[in-house]
A and B are shown apart, each in its own frame.
Chain A
Amino acid sequence: MLHEGALNVLLVEDDDNHAKIIENYLRRVKADKPSVSRVSRLEEGKKCLVSGHYDVILLDLRLPDSDLDETLDRTMVVSGNTPIVVLSSIEEKDFARKLVKKGAQDFLCKSNLSEDVIIRTINSSIERKQNEISLRESEARNRGILESSMDCIISTDQDWQITDLNKAGEVMLGFHRHNLIGKNLMESLISPPYHKILKQWRYEVEFHGDDIDHNHRMEMASHRNDGAEFPIEISMTSLMLMQGRIYTFFIRDITEQRLASEFLRLAKEEAVSASRAKSTFLANMSHEIRTPLTAILGFSELLVDSQTTQLERLNFFNSIKRNANHLSQIINDILDLSKVEVGKLTVERKNTLLSEILEDTKATFALQTKEKGIEFSISLEASAENIVIFTDFLRIKQILFNMIGNAIKFTSKGKVTVHVNIERISASSSKLMFVIKDTGIGIDSGSFAKLFTPFSR
């Protein structure tokens, strides 16, 4: 980039003759004549730099108030982005050349000056300084991107020795930068099962170059400073530079994504299994409804059959009634269940005599068991005759009726007994246990596990 408009030159030179020669050369420039401010002492020059703007500093090294080896350093304290061209004698040429490495942009040998050389040196110094500034800014920008990234970014050399890593990497891995730089990326950070794939990646890059189509991105596992393994997504890019190949690895901690997807999978599985259980339940319900319905329809038909005797009609009629009651019971149960499902089943608790519940239960099943020819008894500890419980009368009867009803259904001979045990917990509270025993077909030991799962038999 070339300077536009007239140059503003600060000339720091104590020797009047030398100063004059330089000023003369600069005055010969035709278009955009440079303006030159000349000072003899370093301190004056520094004052100028603080208060004014200059495009370039022409700096003599031996000054009345500064020695040869300190002049540049002292100037750079205030020179900022202004390029410095060192003025040297022929004897000091080698020294001046060294100063270019220390921060000066160029040097002019006072015994070998011309208009051309001066202008060219000044312009190239300005240009070099500007390049230096852009490079510095670009590096700062890149560093900013690197450091603000949420992912871990690691640079390595061609052998995967770590040369740099960003702040996110330090946090993710739990290592301090110093503890990782110089270590091998694969050995220190990647779990062994994935080493083979990583080596394959490197092989592909080394043999096919950078512009290959391989997608070097994969889920692997890494471990933290404390040894804890965690899932990562890693991607790799590489670049061939003059000093050799460099690699950049982007590593993302995917623990949370994994958890989220695992959570989703479980939720889906649960939903599917709930829906399957519900279908099974509905199929069972359909059977439960069809069974009494079949009887009702069948007996109704037989009732009107002319071949049916009067006695048979009475029996059929009773069967219809029994099945209708059963059906109504089932429908009530289903309605209750759907209330439970939508959370609308109300439980109204009040003080109730235990003996009253048991009397009701006894009366309900007395006839049925007598007809079926099985024994039925309900027993209660004598001390519990007057026990009052705080409960929902209807719900507890519903539970007892269901269990006892089932016991009777699957018992063709023998007996069904209900016994109530009382276990005192404290002076004011007790635990009741209802034990229902039957001599029926029983339950397979294999089905015990299914006893308390919803919707299964």
Chain B
Amino acid sequence: MNSSHEEQKKLVKFLLVEDDDDHAVIISRVLSQARILNHVDRLKDGVSVIEYLTQRGAYSHVELPDVILLDLKLPKKDGLEVLAEVKSYPQLRSIPIVILTTSNAEVDKLKAYENFANSYLLKPIEPEKFRQLVEDLNLYWGILNQIPNKKNINDQHEEES
């Protein structure tokens, strides 16, 4: 495992979808202090997530993220809708989505997993634990876990359309 760490050359890219500025500051800060190199893009509403991930408009040149951290209570488009929509795109389905929310409602958890969320975390998380979690996420989703090459999926998708 150590060797894997050392081998890390690429940057792990996070997409943070969070409308609350304070939460965004805290999460980005914790991510920036993680031992694994990463980069965070932040979006504030549900509609822009879809534009970003489908690389439309202002987002035509963005690189797809390795992990999406998704809040549920979002303006314009609810987090669960965003989740369902992202998972409906074949070329986006393999990007792990971690729900990071203040909602403790059973129905939200159920719907999140029904819509193929990869993880469901409840805020507030103790900062120390959150730091640990971010590192684990980094390590697991960014380094250890093998997913299909995004470039290939994209090309394949373009051929289809």
Contact = CB atoms under 8 A, between A and B. Distances in A.
Interface of A: 283, 286-287, 290-291, 293-295, 297-302, 305, 307, 319, 323, 410, 441
Given A297-B124, A297-B126, A283 B26 contact: no
Interface in B17-40: 20, 22-23, 25-27, 29-30, 33
B127 A291 contact: no
Contacts of B125: 294
A306 to B, nearest CB: 11
Interface in B22-75: 22-23, 25-27, 29-30, 33, 73, 75
Interface residues of B, number: 24
Nearest to B27: A298
A17 B121 CA distance: 125
Given A299-B22, A301-B127, A301-B128, A294 B76 contact: no
A287 B124 contact: no
B102 to A, nearest CB: 4
A287 B102 contact: yes
B9 to A, nearest CB: 24
Contact of B124 (A283, A294, A319): A294
B26 A299 contact: yes
Contact of A323 (B22, B75, B104, B130): B22
| 9 closest cross-chain pairs (CB), A and B | A301-B127, A298-B26, A290-B102, A294-B124, A295-B22, A294-B123, A283-B105, A287-B102, A297-B124
Q: Which of B22, B26, B29, B30 neighbours the largest number of chain A CB atoms within 10 Å of its CB?
A: B22
Nearest to A297: B124
14 contacts: A283-B103, A287-B102, A287-B103, A290-B104, A290-B123, A291-B23, A294-B23, A294-B26, A294-B102, A298-B22, A301-B127, A305-B33, A319-B22, A319-B25
B14 to A, nearest CB: 17
A283 B23 contact: no
Contacts of A283: 103-105
Contacts of B103: 283, 286-287
Given A283-B103, A319-B22, A410-B75, A298 B124 contact: yes
Contact of B75 (A287, A294, A297, A441): A441
Contacts, number: 58
Interface of B: 20, 22-23, 25-27, 29-30, 33, 73, 75-76, 102-105, 122-128, 130
A10 B131 CA distance: 123
Contacts of A301: 127-128
A283 B73 CA distance: 12
A313 to B, nearest CB: 12
A300 B130 CA distance: 13
A218 B131 CA distance: 70
Contacts of A299: 22, 26
Mostly helix, strand, loop or mixed at chain B's interface? loop
A286 B127 contact: no
Nearest to A302: B29
Nearest to A301: B127
B102 A298 contact: no
B70 to A, nearest CB: 15
Nearest to B29: A302
Contacts of A300: 127
Q: Which of B20, B30, B103, B124 neighbours the largest number of chain A CB atoms within 10 Å of its CB?
A: B124
Q: Which of A297, A307, A441 neighbours the largest number of chain B CB atoms within 10 Å of its CB?
A: A297
Nearest to B125: A294
A295 B20 contact: yes
B108 to A, nearest CB: 8
B126 to A, nearest CB: 7
B20 A291 contact: yes
Contact of B23 (A287, A295, A305): A295
A295 B19 CA distance: 13
A290 B128 CA distance: 17
Q: Which of B20, B102, B130 neighbours the largest number of chain A CB atoms within 10 Å of its CB?
A: B102
B127 A297 contact: yes
B75 A302 contact: no
A38 B44 CA distance: 124
Contacts of A287: 73, 102-103
